A = this chain, B = another copy of it.
Amino acid sequence: MYPKMRMHYSSTNTARRFCLRIGVLLVFAALAGAQDPLPSWNDGAAKRAMVDFVVRTTKSDSADFIPPAERIATFDNDGTLWVEQPLYTQFTFALDRIKALAPQHPEWKREEPFRSALSGDKAAFAATGHAGLAQVMIVTHSGMTTDEFEKTVTEWLETAHHPRFHRPYTKCVYQPMLEVLAYFRQSGFKTYIVSGGGADFMRPWTESVYGIPPEQVIGSSLKTRFEMRNGVPVLVRLPEVNFIDDKDGKPVGIDLTIGRRPVAAFGNSDGDQQMLEWTAAGKGMRLMLLVHHTDAQREYAYDRKSSVGRLDRALDEAKARGWIVVDMKSDWKTIFPPMHAGSQSKAVSAR
């Protein structure tokens, strides 16, 4: 049927009118439910704003049309795509690695921050401050090749479970956000992760869980060194920070890696504020969205006072500038995907 239709509507003006009509139909269909691209979202301002943005920026005759090459959408990971409470998953991984590596380091029983990390003495560990945390992160993330580290992350994720939800961390992802990722990709957007977490901690699993390939994952990193070992080249992870992809670092990381400004940005904390500001300052229609964790019963409720994923100044700026703030409790019909279903995002080809 399609070739016939195309012949009918061959003059430019008629084609434009036809496209416009299709556009209007798409909004209608999208909002009507039969082909609802965001079924886990309740009807509300957040859902309507996303559908409106996608429809207006992808209709070829729209004043807000964005060419496919410029459809870059960036997503924070911790607290935006998956659970970040009670502790960032990567910190939990690091603490588990400390336990696994302890037999090779008998001195850790006496030396901080390892002593308290091993004994589970939270107050003593907290007293070691940022320096203690950084030491735990660096010791557990360096000293091996990139291939070895990838294997360690993959094996850990196969067995580790979230302490409250009793499911693998890769199943502690937000079903409504999986739908947003798929909807944006189906509409020709290239979806990127831009996270304060380590790129190498995310890349082993983002493709199967989110449909986001490794080359679209931007994150913090350690320095690596190219080395020949018995004639085989390896990349060795060094105990030295290369880049922190958080706060001011997010626009920097986006510019370094993508070299284009996003047209849509999704976050949940003050760490995402500059990414949203950078996105908002581009020309043309833009979408800025923050997930507000308001649901203590089904997930967590936290914002201005939280040490993990604090949302304070960015929340004020969102209100002042009209960015979308998702109220998890009222906007999301469900939080997590079903435990035994395949990842929805797998069905959608990565872009």
Contact = CB atoms under 8 A, between A and B. Distances in A.
Interface stretch (A173-181, A256-264, A284-292): A256-264
Interface stretch (A85-93, A96-104, A153-161, A212-220): A212-220
A233 interface: yes
19 contacts: A69-B213, A69-B350, A146-B255, A199-B256, A199-B259, A203-B259, A215-B258, A215-B259, A215-B260, A225-B248, A226-B249, A226-B251, A226-B274, A226-B278, A233-B251, A233-B274, A235-B252, A235-B255, A257-B257
Given A213-B69, A257-B215, A233 B199 contact: no
Contacts of A221: 256
A252 B224 contact: yes
Interface residues of A, number: 36
Contacts of A249: 226
B277 A207 contact: no
A124 interface: no
A72 B226 CA distance: 20
A224 B255 contact: yes
A200 interface: yes
A305 to B, nearest CB: 26
Contacts of A259: 199-200, 203, 214-215, 217
Interface of A: 69, 72, 146, 190, 199-200, 203, 207, 213-215, 217, 221, 224-226, 228, 232-233, 235, 242, 248-249, 251-252, 255-260, 274, 277-278, 281, 350
A233 B288 CA distance: 15
Contacts of A274: 226, 233
A281 B215 contact: no
User: By CB atoms of chain B within 10 A, which of A146, A232, A252, A350 has the most?
Assistant: A252
Contacts of A248: 225-226
Nearest to A218: B257
A50 to B, nearest CB: 23
A135 to B, nearest CB: 23
A278 to B, nearest CB: 5
A281 B251 CA distance: 34
A248 B225 CA distance: 8
Nearest to A248: B226
Contact of A278 (B200, B233, B350): B233
A264 to B, nearest CB: 15
A260 B214 contact: yes
A274 B224 CA distance: 14
B350 A277 contact: no
Contacts of A235: 251-252, 255
A210 to B, nearest CB: 14
A252 B255 CA distance: 18
Contacts of A252: 224-226, 235
A214 B221 CA distance: 21
A168 to B, nearest CB: 22
User: By CB atoms of chain B within 10 A, which of A69, A190, A225 has the most?
Assistant: A69
A27 B203 CA distance: 35
A195 B190 CA distance: 24
